[in-house]
Structure 1
Amino acid sequence: MILAYVDETGDTGNPELAGSSGCYGLGCVLVETERWSESFEAVLGLRRNIRSRYRVGVRKELKANYLIRGSAHLRPLNLSPNDRHVIYRSHFRVLHQMAPLGVRAFGVVIDKEMSAWSSPQDTFDNAWITLLQRLERTSTKRRVELMVVHDEGEDKRVMQAVRKARRHLPAGLHWGTGSVVNPARYFVEDAVSRSSANSYFIQMADLVAYAAWRTHQHPGRGAALVCPHTMWNLLGDAIHTPVTSIKAGPAPGVVLR
């Protein structure tokens, strides 16, 4: 079985309003259940190294927003932008090192202006349908069961999206017009909601989501000190390239809508 850990970045609101992001995105980290323990130990080893070097507790949540701003529990530590860059970068290097264990990552980015923003619900649906289409193709081609594990907050909407995908998941044709329907037959159970504070892999998905966004919409000077638009490349062999095998996005493994 594959566990697909998912988290979001940005917001689904009107991009013309002050404070709303230009993009909304999802990051996904795929972990093989047969190698889950080895993968977890690799991430735990990373967190212990970060604790030793930067005094960030292994149970403290590390998400993109905290690292970019030096906020939340990182604020008292007074970590420099370079320190926070090294922490961000080290996560991606560990993901690359876990590629032989079957760990992969990809992102979905919704450019709200390019996609002609109409409502928060449509933006949310566009992102999740796009992500579930890629997960359906991944699970079907390998004939392996897959479960979605996501950050809590949109539990009902994600549950409904996954349930619907099991019965009816449209997919655009690569060549020509129209669409086909590929029910996600290998999806099992409802999507599982977990607090990101209690899941290293959901925290990883958050970092993946933000870096995927920044391959398309480059960060400002301050954010770039921590996560430059080239951060994505450090995923290396962990990039799940099949999601962009036909229609290229801003980077391999980043689907742009």
Structure 2
Amino acid sequence: MVGFCHLRMHFIYIDDSSERPTHIFSAMAVPVSRWNETFLGLKQWRTHLRTIHGISTSYELHANQFLSGRGSLGALNTISRHKRAQIFHTSFAVTEWLLSFDVRVFNVCLNDDRQDWAFERLLNRINRTMHAWGSYAHLICDEGKEEHYTKMVRRMRVFNPIPSNRGIWDDTGSLTRNITLDRIIEDPQFKSSARSYFIQQCDFLAYGLLRKERPTPKTKRYGIHKSFEQLDGTLVRECNLRDPYGIIR
């Protein structure tokens, strides 16, 4: 009789938000075994928005456009800017509630105009965390940089020099060690954000962190710069113990 091993696995949904020189990626790790529950949770949130605010469940929630009301083709005409800001704020409480399905959130923020480096930092932390969790990851990203990101992941599977946080690696005396992405499987998958509640949620997370890092007078007026601070248990703080939110920097 053939035995079967129970392999742990996570889907990692990723989206970004940028305002040069700041580049941010937010990633939502969803255990495959709890994907159905998590999806139903997000679907309930979207059903609530339709019932209470008339926002169609098929309407794409894109943070910048949602908050400004631009490009909505009338979908947000009856919702005031103040109410849209409240909905945006509440979406972070929804993400925190997803902890009940073991959903976790990674965030990276770099202020040196190196978007590729920010993405690499995120992938390295995801890979290291999958080792700690005894799991594997499959990446699901927003459309737009399919070829570029796929090449990056493939390269990092073969060649991924990591510097030691002590200056040199004790066992070899080398400045770097080739620690490949052995816990991220297959090429990244790319989906239109319009067709993924998960990617839309990551878009809100990334924009919320952007406005926490770089608030504007308008976002401060509506409290948007504080939305990210609702996150607690969902945050993978082990990514950076020197940052109160575990943000990779």
What is the TM-score of this pair, normalised by structure 1?
A: 0.84
Summarize the Cα distance change of 1:165–1:45 in structure 2 as closer, same or farther, 3 Å threshold.
same
User: In structure 2, the residue corresponding to 1:71 is in which secondary structure?
Assistant: coil
Q: Residues 1-257 of structure 1: matches in 2 within 5 Å? A: 1-10=9-18, 21-73=20-72, 75-78=74-77, 79-112=79-112, 117=113, 123-177=114-168, 178-217=175-214, 219-226=215-222, 228-245=224-241, 248-249=242-243, 251-256=244-249
Q: Deviation per CA, 1:118-167, whole angstroms, max 9, x where unpaired?
A: xxxxx232111111111111112222110110000000011011112222
User: In structure 2, the residue corresponding to 1:73 is in which secondary structure?
Assistant: coil
Partner of 2:172: none
2-structure distance, mates of 1:88, 1:165? 35
Greater gyration radius: 2
Verify the 8 A CA contact 1:39 1:98 in the aligned structure 2: yes
CA apart distance, 1:89: 1.9
Verify the 8 A CA contact 2:16 2:25 in the aligned structure 1: yes
2-structure distance, mates of 1:170, 1:102? 31
Of 168-177 and 31-40, deviating more is 168-177
Summarize the Cα distance change of 1:124–1:64 in structure 2 as closer, same or farther, 3 Å threshold.
same
Backbone CA RMSD of aligned residues: 1.8
Partner of 1:17: none
CA apart distance, 1:227: 5.5
Of 220-229 and 189-198, deviating more is 220-229
* Structure 1 consecutive aligned stretches of length 4 or more whose deviation exceeds 4 Å: none
Verify the 8 A CA contact 1:68 1:226 in the aligned structure 2: no
User: In structure 2, the residue corresponding to 1:2 is in which secondary structure?
Assistant: strand
How many percent identity over aligned positions? 26
Letter in 1 for 2:212: T
Of 201-210 and 83-92, deviating more is 83-92
User: In structure 1, the residue corresponding to 2:42 is in which secondary structure?
Assistant: helix
Q: Name structure 1 gaps, 5 residues minimum.
A: 12-20, 118-122
